[in-house]
Structure 1
């Protein structure tokens, strides 16, 4: 069930995520980059996952420059990664950190906005691969490690079009409906455990993806990624223990 975020009053501080190890996909740009920087500011050691090494290195440098715990970089293209690649990622994390406290699934591709009848099969497969199948494979690989941590938090990224279908948003919309379903299945399977699974909807935010979807929109009318981070920290912090199976909005409607 979706709800408007009731935690806008949550205030993150430098110890909100102290001693936690958090993996962020799509950490080289936009919301993923800002989440990585923010988690690090709050005391977490962040594992930066993304396909463009230069962008990950830029995020890494900013985290180090702000005096936060030294992060790790894991280059990975979700378009081509398979189960073996994700298992390798888990083995690396287990070997280096011995645990994983949180995962933010932020990496997504938009695809082409077009009438349903014009959706190309190849593009449909590409969007589903990155937005759905990569998450499915990564969660399967990560679960044994995550379950060792009773306070672990897994956060998926959803969208308003992942709750109510919208004309011309076919492939992206379907991928986000699938993301919500994945979260709900996992949350229900672990409803009697401390580990939790939730979705987060950033809403209209000043990102490259937003500008591609709404090229005529004035970006200055939108919140920046930094302005919605309290929700991201809240869901990773121990304050949200017990919150499971929710789809939270970052911005009040």
Structure 2
């Protein structure tokens, strides 16, 4: 999977939603999906960043994307449901969702963790993917084959000290991924659900978590896209309920 070479037409005519699409891994994934033929729904909280991704996609001659400004920290259930109605009216289905948006919160022992920050991280990293998934499942069922990718983390598979709410939120994401995979198992060849750990990547969140680290030692988001393309495209049909790593073990 790490050496996967995606066909140029892998995502032709596919409708794919990417959360946190304005920067980092979300931006790289949106550009990669568009480059392989997808119409990408760019979801994020900062309009200027989404517009920059939109402009890059359009300038490259890829299918025209759509922008959906949404702040997951404050979005209400109704906003997710309204988004589903809008997508249904405009596209009639959804072929994929990449749950990428997340926040780090504090790197602090549980004993001293700020409860307000804990609640904020859990809301953005867990509640929002749940609400978005809940609203999108009916549209995913309308696809001939659809893929849902939850962004995980190594600390969401084995906790490490001082990773606080972020680690717990990623454990919850793993659980949600497995739960949805099991519940959609009757549609095995239509809606597949997997988790993907990007690993150490040159992003702003990584720099915040490891300020003393040389970012040049980590791959750029664009370098780990083979895994994102494989799981979103037709070559992963039938693959569901699994945990993947976007990078080989170091």
Question: Which of the five TM-score ranges fits, normalised by the shorter chain?
Answer: over 0.9
Question: Are the aligned partners of 2:126 and 2:172 in contact in 1 as well (CA < 8 Å)?
Answer: yes
Q: Give me the TM-score of the superposition, normalised by structure 1.
A: 0.96
2:210 matched to 1:208?
Answer: no
Q: Aligned ranges for residues 86-105 of structure 1 at < 5 Å?
A: 86-105=80-99
What's 2:43 paired with?
49
Q: Aligned ranges for residues 123-162 of structure 1 at < 5 Å?
A: 123-162=117-156
Q: Which moved more, 1:71-80 or 1:189-198?
A: 189-198
2:214 matched to 1:233?
Answer: no
SS at match of 1:192: helix
2:166 matched to 1:166?
Answer: no
For structure 1, which runs of at least 5 residues remain unmatched after alignment?
Answer: 1-6
SS at match of 2:127: helix
Return the offset for 1:189. Answer: 1.1
Q: Which moved more, 1:207-216 or 1:8-17?
A: 8-17
Question: Are the aligned partners of 2:2 and 2:224 in contact in 1 as well (CA < 8 Å)?
Answer: no
Return the offset for 1:179. Answer: 0.1
CA-based RMSD of the aligned residues comes to 0.7
What's 2:116 paired with?
122
Bigger relative contact order (CA 8 A; separation at least 6): 1
Deviation per CA, 1:168-223, whole angstroms, max 9, x where unpaired?
00110000000000000110112231210001100000000000000000011100
Return the offset for 1:13. Answer: 3.1
2:208 matched to 1:219?
Answer: no
Question: Are the aligned partners of 2:57 and 2:64 in contact in 1 as well (CA < 8 Å)?
Answer: yes
Q: Give me the TM-score of the superposition, normalised by structure 2.
A: 0.97
Return the offset for 1:245. Answer: 0.5
2:78 matched to 1:84?
Answer: yes
**Cα distance in 2 between the residues matched to 1:59 and 1:13:** 22
